[in-house]
Amino acid sequence: MRMIPQIERLESKGDPLLARAKRVLAVAIAREGGRLALEREVPDVVLGHWLGKSARDRGKNLAWSVETLRRALSVRKDDPALMTELGEALAKFDGSQDEARAILEGLAARDLIASPQGYRALADLRRQRGDEAGQTLAMKRCESMASSSSICRPRAS
């Protein structure tokens, strides 16, 4: 945010570094549920909605995350890592859980979920559907991929 404060308004066409920065930010936003824990060295005027202090700000951040990941996937079609990240973001975005489940279940069926966080999101989605066996299986996959057990801890409903 300090180096590219206007990142949400920039087009990354032809600039792989900017595209990567946007993707990293989009994933960070999704994994934190629309919030970013940013250093206070960045002026508050720049931080604005990125802090996700209100439900509205978190929704705006998640919408940006989903849109950014969709754009990246339009360039790199069928990329399992990007599809996993989009599934994670959609799982957190209100009203998009069915699409998230479809993406992640499709990847899981082909053993292509690219991160423990992806399996974590799938476990949460399966739990929401009452699929305890599926949730347990996804959590085991998460644990087998994760470098830290904290990634796979169950979340509150």
Name the 3-class secondary structure at 3: coil
Q: Residues 22-47: pLDDT tens digits?
A: 899 899 999 999 988 766 665 555 56
pLDDT value, residue 157: 45
Q: What is the pTM of this model?
A: 0.86
User: What are the structural domain ranges in the chain?
Assistant: 1-77, 79-157
